[in-house]
Amino acid sequence: MGFVHGRGERMDPLERRFVGKVIVLGVLIVVAIAFVFSTQRADPAHLPGVALDSPLLLDMERAAVVAALVVGAAVFLIRGWVGYFPSKLSTTGAEYETRWSAERTAENDDAAIDVLAEIKLERVAMAKSIDDDIRALKLKVDALASEAGSAERLTTNIDDMV
């Protein structure tokens, strides 16, 4: 059960303002705690190259790695908690479908089916009207033909008499 937008659309739980603020605050707290714990550890005799010979930079990098792991896990956990899982995972990241796309597609399909049914009814009514018009014209043509035939016979009979 996800969060619902004002228009009835389900949305990503991380788009909620309060949730985003809580996550940022939580990550800042975790970074501060990781930094404090890193400073309490004894630094290695030979610092790694990424530390650039600075124990403070090494502590900051350790805290940044912990923050990245916490943020990555939090995104999956928070979205997963409401049933919003990635549609594609790759080495460059995770892709999420927009929450309302399937629901919106179903609504659009229903609307399209309704419109097509209405068009079909209009076409059937139009075809029936055309058929009725053709029948009426055929009756008029037959009536005119029978009138013309009787007039021709009358003229022929008069010519024969004269």
First to last CA, the chain: 101
Cα–Cα distance measured from residue 48 to residue 50, given in angstroms and rounded to the nearest whole number: 6
This prediction's pTM: 0.45
DSSP 51: G
Domain range list for the chain? 3-99, 100-162
Given the DSSP bridges, would you call strands 10-11 and 3-4 parallel, antiparallel or unpaired?
Answer: antiparallel
Q: What tens-digit pLDDT sequence spans the chain (162 residues)? A: 444 444 445 566 666 777 778 878 888 898 888 888 888 887 777 777 776 777 788 888 888 888 888 888 887 888 777 777 777 888 887 776 765 555 666 677 777 888 888 999 999 999 999 999 999 888 888 888 787 766 666 555 555 555
Half-sphere exposure for 155 (CA within 13 Å, toward CB) = 6
Cα–Cα distance measured from residue 147 to residue 151, given in angstroms and rounded to the nearest whole number: 6
Residue 34: how many other CB atoms lie within 10 Å? 20
